[in-house]
């Protein structure tokens, strides 16, 4: 059965990759971008199954109008992907008030507005899946992106509460916490504070540390599916590897597979026992979910649906 998607930040990176993947499998997508010209090639390819929507997620009124338009066009909303966001670089002391507020406006409030706008439709139909694109920076923090980390921690906080609030309505909430991927997140998409010379020496040190953490980024190819029965995200590497991201120390738990044979039974799990499922460091493959060999923790894992 085909699904309907509402995906923000669809002009490039994860958003564009997931839009294409959903369309290729026969689904319909309302894709939001700041400039709809960036989707013209996809409209020519997929026709009216793709609804381009010009949107700045910072604008709450515009967000509600966009979601209402998408619902009217698609007939329903099955999957809502809060992907729009950007990275703000700068030491904590360097970040201006305007930069701090802008980071939260997009990464936190933008996702909040989309979620609030979509929930009445999801509640009415008694189903739906909200995918919140967080980051490894939403479970840890790193120098020079402290305000970005703060925005992702905030996203994770309200999403954990949301998961409990909407479960009885048949609505699922999933946090996605990618590690290093081959997108332009640190490039054209990023913003940079004015450097303070006092941090120049440490800035070099921090850059070297970051390079060591993310030395072999993966490439996003497929979207996280809307239900457990079709998970295709599987471990990319097991055990230690100089090319693999190193996860911060966190509790490991063993959880039952969502459905037999569909997900690994063991993964680095969220310490929040009653919180939303978590997809950590997505690494797309075409194989079904499998667990790592005994005694070796998966570096890249699938979450629960």
Q: Is 255 a catalytic residue?
A: no
Sort 105 into a burial class: Cβ within 10 Å, 0-12 / 13-18 / 19+.
middle
Phi (first) and psi of residue 16, to 5 degrees: -70, -40
CB count, 10 Å around CB of 102? 16
Please pick, among 28, 135, 152, 283, the residue that the annotation labels catalytic: 152
Closest CA to 199 of 86, 89, 87: 89
Please pick, among 11, 28, 134, 135, the residue that the annotation labels catalytic: 134
Q: Assess contact for 83 and 7: CB atoms under 8 A.
A: yes
d(CA 39, CA 45): 10
Please pick, among 11, 28, 135, 148, the residue that the annotation labels catalytic: 148
Q: Is 283 a catalytic residue?
A: no
Paired tokens of 24: 């290729």
Q: Is 148 a catalytic residue?
A: yes
d(CA 244, CA 216): 7
Q: Assess contact for 54 and 36: CB atoms under 8 A.
A: yes
What H or E segment, with its residue span, contains residue 131?
Answer: strand 128-133
d(CA 104, CA 224): 25
Which are the catalytic amino acids? 134, 148, 152
């Amino acid at each position: 059965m085909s699904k309907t998607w509402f995906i923000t930040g669809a002009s490039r990176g994860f958003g564009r990759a997931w839009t294409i993947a959903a369309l290729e499998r026969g689904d319909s997508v309302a894709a939001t971008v700041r400039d709809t010209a960036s989707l013209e090639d996809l409209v020519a390819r997929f026709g009216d199954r793709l609804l381009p929507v010009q949107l700045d997620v910072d604008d709450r009124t515009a967000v509600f109008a966009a979601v209402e338009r998408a619902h009217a066009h698609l007939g329903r909303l099955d999957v809502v992907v809060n992907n729009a966001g950007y990275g703000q670089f700068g030491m904590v002391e360097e970040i201006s008030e305007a930069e701090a507020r802008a980071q939260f406006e997009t990464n936190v409030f933008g996702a909040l507005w989309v979620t609030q706008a979509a929930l009445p439709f999801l509640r009415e139909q008694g189903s739906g899946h909200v995918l919140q694109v967080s980051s490894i920076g939403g479970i840890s923090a790193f120098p020079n992106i402290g305000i970005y980390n703060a925005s992702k921690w905030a996203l994770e906080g309200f999403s954990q509460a949301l998961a409990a609030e909407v479960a009885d309505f048949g609505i699922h909430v999933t946090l996605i916490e990618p590690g290093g991927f081959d997108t332009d997140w640190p490039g054209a998409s990023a913003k940079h504070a004015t450097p303070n010379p006092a941090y120049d020496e440490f800035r070099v040190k921090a850059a070297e540390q970051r390079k060591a953490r993310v030395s072999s980024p993966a490439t996003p190819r497929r979207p996280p599916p809307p239900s457990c029965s079709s998970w295709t995200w599987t471990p990319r590497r097991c055990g230690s590897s100089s090319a693999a991201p190193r996860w911060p120390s966190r509790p490991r738990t063993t959880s039952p597979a969502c459905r037999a044979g569909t997900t690994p039974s063991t993964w680095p799990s969220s310490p929040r026992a009653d919180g939303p499922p978590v997809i950590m460091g997505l690494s797309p493959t075409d194989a079904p979910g499998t667990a790592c060999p005994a005694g070796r923790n998966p570096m890249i894992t699938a979450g629960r649906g």
